[in-house]
C-alpha cells in the first residue's frame, strides 16, 4: 500500500471507528486501574487488523520501514486522537519504540522470543530507564547495576515512571543499567531484556498523570530489580552501547511525538472554531470576539510553522547526513509541546467548563501535550542543547 493510500484508509478508519469510540474510551480510562484494559481498544485493534492497518505504520508491504517523511502525515492523522489511535494501530508508547529497538538491534533469538509477540500484541512491554534517585533528564547519572557473574547478568536497582509495566499483558522489560562503572562515561551503560515475571522483579507504586490512571497502557509504575538474574544473551545490542542505543530510540520517538502533536493542534483548532461559531454570547457568537479571533489565527500560524519544521526535520533524518540533527530535534521538541499545549488550552477556555470534562477529547489532548514538556527530555534540556550549539558556532566565528 502506498503511503498516500494508507493516509486515505487511515482517515476513514479514524472517522468511522476511532472518533465514535472516544467517549467510551475516555470514560473507561478515567476509572481504569493499571491492570485494566479498555475493551474498546481491543475492538478497534481487531477492526484495524481487518482493514490491513495493524502495524501498517511500523512496516509497509514488503516489510520496508516507512521513512520519516512518509510517516509524518500518517502520524499527524493519528494525533487527532493520539491515545486511542495508538492502541488501535499498535503504536503505543513504549511498545512501538521497543519494537524498533528489537528490529534494529535484536538477535534472531530475541526477535523470535519478543518481537513477534509484540508485533501481534500478544504481549506488551515497558522501558525502564528513569530512577527515583537520579535526574531522569540525564540518563548517564542512573545507577542500576548490571553485573556479570559467569554466564549470567545480575540486575539490581529501582526504576520509576515505567509506562506499561503494571499491565498483566506486559511480559518484557527493557532495562538500562551500568554494566561497566570503570569504562568511559559514554560506554558504561547497557540495555538488557528482562522477563517481567523473572524472580526478583517487583512492580508497584503506580502513579496517575493528571488523575488519569492510564489503565489502557498499564499505568506508570515503580519497578524494583532485586538481584534479577538473566543469561548474558539478554544484552540488547553490544554491552557498553546502552546510552547511544537509548538515544537511537529517543531521537525518532521525539520526532514522532511532534508529528502527532500537529494532529493534536489541528483537532483542538477545529473544536475551537466549531465552538466559536456555535456559542452565542451577548448579541453575537464567540467567533465575533477579537480575543477568540486571536486564538484562532495564533493557532493556525503556530501549527503551520511546526508542521513545516516537522516535515523538514523528517527529511533531514531520512537523509542521515546532518551532523546537527540532534540539535534540530531539540529545537522541535523544545517548541512543539508548549505551542500545542497553548492551542488546546485556548480551545478548553472557549468551551468553558465543558472543556475540562472527559466528555470532550480536549482534556486528554492537553494531557498529551503537557506531559511531553517533561517526558523524552524536559523543555529546558532541549533548550540547553540549542544554546550550546549556538554558542559553539559563535565561538568558532572570528570577527
Ligand atoms: C507520562 C510519563 C511517562 C514516562 N514514561 C517513562 C518510561 O516509560 N520509562 C522511563 O524510564 N521513564 C519514563 N518517564 C520518566 C521521564 O523520562 C522523566 O520524567 C524525564 O526524563 C525527566 O526526568 P525527571 O522526572 O527525573 O526530572 P528531572 O531530571 O529531575 O528534572 C526536573 C526538572 O528540572 C529541570 N532540569 C533538569 N535538568 C536540567 C538542566 N540540565 N538544566 C536546566 N533545567 C533542568 C527541568 O525543568 C525538569 O523538568 C515518564 C515520564 C512521564 C511524565
Q: If you measure from the C-alpha of residue 330 to the centroid of ligand 1, how many angstroms do you get, rounded to a whole number?
A: 15
Q: Give burial (CB, 10 Å; 0-12/13-18/19+) of 228.
A: buried
Q: Which residue has the CA at smallest separation from atom 35 of ligand 1?
A: 380
Of 267, 313, 306, nearest in space to 11 by CA: 267
Q: If you measure from the C-alpha of residue 381 to the centroid of ligand 1, how many angstroms do you get, rounded to a whole number?
A: 10
Report the pocket of ligand 1 as residue ranges, CB < 6 Å: 94, 127-130, 135-137, 159, 161-163, 209, 220, 371, 374-375, 378, 380-381, 384
Q: If you measure from the C-alpha of residue 378 to the centroid of ligand 1, how many angstroms do you get, rounded to a whole number?
A: 6
Packed helices 362-371 and 242-278: angle between N→C axes, nearest 10 degrees: 150
Q: If you measure from the C-alpha of residue 152 to the centroid of ligand 1, how many angstroms do you get, rounded to a whole number?
A: 31
Ligand 1, from 223, 243, 378: best to mutate by most atoms within 8 Å of Cβ?
A: 378
At 61 the pLDDT is: 43
- All three cell numbers of 325, joined, read 540533527
Q: If you measure from the C-alpha of residue 137 to the centroid of ligand 1, how many angstroms do you get, rounded to a whole number?
A: 5
Measured CA to CA, the distance from residue 278 to residue 285 in angstroms comes to 7
Contact of 64 with 103, CB cutoff 8 Å: no
What beta strand segments (E) does 70-180 contain? 124-128, 145-149, 152-163, 170-178
**pLDDT tens track for 350-396:** 999 999 999 999 999 999 999 999 999 999 999 999 999 999 999 99
List all residues 6 or more positions away from 352 whose beta carbon is below 8 Å from its beta carbon.
Answer: none
**What is the separation, in whole angstroms, between the first and last Cα of the chain?**
54
* Residue in this structure with the C-alpha cell 493516509, named with its chain if needed: 7
- Lowest model confidence (mean pLDDT) among 89-93, 233-237, 297-301: 89-93
At 12 the pLDDT is: 98
Ligand 1, from 93, 98, 130, 158: best to mutate by most atoms within 8 Å of Cβ?
A: 130
Measured CA to CA, the distance from residue 260 to residue 344 in angstroms comes to 14
Q: If you measure from the C-alpha of residue 301 to the centroid of ligand 1, how many angstroms do you get, rounded to a whole number?
A: 29
> What are all long-range contacts of 281-286, with beta carbons under 8 Å and residues at least 24 apart?
286/350
Q: Which residues pair with 285 in a beta bridge?
A: 280
Q: How confident is the model at residue 249 (pLDDT cuts 50, 70, 90)?
A: confident
Average pLDDT on 277-303 reads: 97
What value, to the nearest 5°, has the Cα angle with vertex 108 and ends 102 and 113? 70
Q: If you measure from the C-alpha of residue 368 to the centroid of ligand 1, how many angstroms do you get, rounded to a whole number?
A: 15
Q: How confident is the model at residue 216 (pLDDT cuts 50, 70, 90)?
A: low
Neighbours of 243 (CB within 10 A): 19
Average pLDDT on 252-259 reads: 94
* Phi, psi (rounded to 5 degrees) for 156: -135, 125
Of 140, 119, 120, nearest in space to 129 by CA: 140
Q: How confident is the model at residue 104 (pLDDT cuts 50, 70, 90)?
A: confident
Closest ligand 1 atom to Cα of 94: 8
Share of the chain above pLDDT 70, in %: 96
**pLDDT tens track for 128-181:** 999 999 998 888 899 999 999 999 999 999 999 999 999 999 999 999 999 999
Q: Which residue has the CA at smallest separation from atom 44 of ligand 1?
A: 380
pTM for this model (two decimals): 0.95
Q: If you measure from the C-alpha of residue 174 to the centroid of ligand 1, how many angstroms do you get, rounded to a whole number?
A: 18
At 390 the pLDDT is: 97
What value, to the nearest 5°, has the Cα angle with vertex 258 and ends 93 and 43? 40
Closest ligand 1 atom to Cα of 384: 42
At 28 the pLDDT is: 82
Q: How confident is the model at residue 219 (pLDDT cuts 50, 70, 90)?
A: confident
Helix ranges, 51-81 (H): 68-78
Q: How confident is the model at residue 186 (pLDDT cuts 50, 70, 90)?
A: very high
Q: If you measure from the C-alpha of residue 269 to the centroid of ligand 1, how many angstroms do you get, rounded to a whole number?
A: 29
Ligand 1, from 136, 144, 157: best to mutate by most atoms within 8 Å of Cβ?
A: 136
Ligand 1, from 375, 384, 385, 386: best to mutate by most atoms within 8 Å of Cβ?
A: 375
Q: If you measure from the C-alpha of residue 122 to the centroid of ligand 1, how many angstroms do you get, rounded to a whole number?
A: 30
At 215 the pLDDT is: 60
Amino acid at each position: 500500500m502506498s503511503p498516500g493510500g494508507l493516509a486515505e484508509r487511515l482517515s476513514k478508519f479514524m472517522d468511522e471507528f476511532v472518533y465514535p469510540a472516544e467517549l467510551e474510551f475516555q470514560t473507561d480510562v478515567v476509572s481504569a486501574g493499571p491492570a485494566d484494559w479498555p475493551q474498546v481498544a481491543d475492538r478497534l485493534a481487531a477492526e484495524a487488523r481487518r482493514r490491513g492497518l495493524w502495524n501498517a505504520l511500523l512496516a509497509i508491504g514488503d516489510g520496508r520501514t516507512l521513512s520519516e517523511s512518509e510517516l509524518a502525515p500518517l502520524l499527524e492523522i493519528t494525533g487527532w486522537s493520539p491515545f486511542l489511535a495508538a492502541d488501535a494501530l499498535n503504536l503505543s508508547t513504549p511498545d512501538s519504540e521497543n519494537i524498533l529497538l528489537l528490529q534494529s538491534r535484536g538477535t534472531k533469538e530475541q526477535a523470535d522470543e519478543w518481537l513477534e509477540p509484540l508485533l501481534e500484541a500478544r504481549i506488551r512491554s515497558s522501558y525502564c530507564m528513569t530512577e527515583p534517585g537520579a535526574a531522569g533528564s540525564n540518563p548517564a547519572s542512573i545507577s542500576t547495576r548490571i553485573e556479570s557473574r559467569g554466564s549470567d547478568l545480575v540486575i539490581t536497582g529501582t526504576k520509576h515512571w515505567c509506562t506499561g509495566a503494571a499491565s498483566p499483558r506486559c511480559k518484557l522489560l527493557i532495562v538500562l543499567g551500568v554494566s561497566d562503572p570503570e569504562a568511559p562515561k559514554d560506554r558504561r551503560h547497557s540495555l538488557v531484556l528482562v522477563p517481567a515475571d523473572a524472580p526478583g522483579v517487583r512492580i508497584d507504586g503506580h502513579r496517575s498523570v493528571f488523575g488519569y490512571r492510564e489503565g489502557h497502557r498499564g499505568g506508570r509504575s515503580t519497578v524494583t530489580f532485586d538481584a534479577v538474574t538473566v543469561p548474558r544473551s539478554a544484552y540488547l545490542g553490544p554491552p557498553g552501547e546502552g546510552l547511544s542505543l537509548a538515544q537511537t530510540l529517543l531521537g525518532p520517538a521525539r520526532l514522532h511525538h511532534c508529528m502527532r502533536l500537529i494532529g493534536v493542534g489541528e483537532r483542538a483548532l477545529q473544536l475551537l472554531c466549531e465552538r466559536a461559531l456555535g456559542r452565542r454570547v451577548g448579541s453575537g457568537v464567540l467567533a465575533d470576539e477579537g480575543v477568540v479571533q486571536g486564538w484562532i489565527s495564533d493557532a493556525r500560524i503556530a501549527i503551520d510553522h511546526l508542521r513545516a519544521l516537522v516535515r523538514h526535520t523528517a527529511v533531514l533524518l531520512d537523509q542521515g547526513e546532518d551532523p546537527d540533527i540532534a540539535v534540530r530535534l531539540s529545537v522541535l521538541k523544545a517548541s512543539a509541546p508548549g505551542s500545542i499545549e497553548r492551542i488546546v488550552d485556548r480551545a478548553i477556555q472557549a468551551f468553558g467548563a465543558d472543556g475540562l470534562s472527559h466528555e470532550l477529547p480536549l482534556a486528554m489532548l492537553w494531557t498529551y501535550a503537557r506531559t511531553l514538556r517533561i517526558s523524552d527530555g524536559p523543555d529546558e534540556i532541549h533548550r540547553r542543547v540549542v544554546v550550546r550549539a549556538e554558542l559553539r558556532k559563535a565561538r568558532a566565528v572570528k570577527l
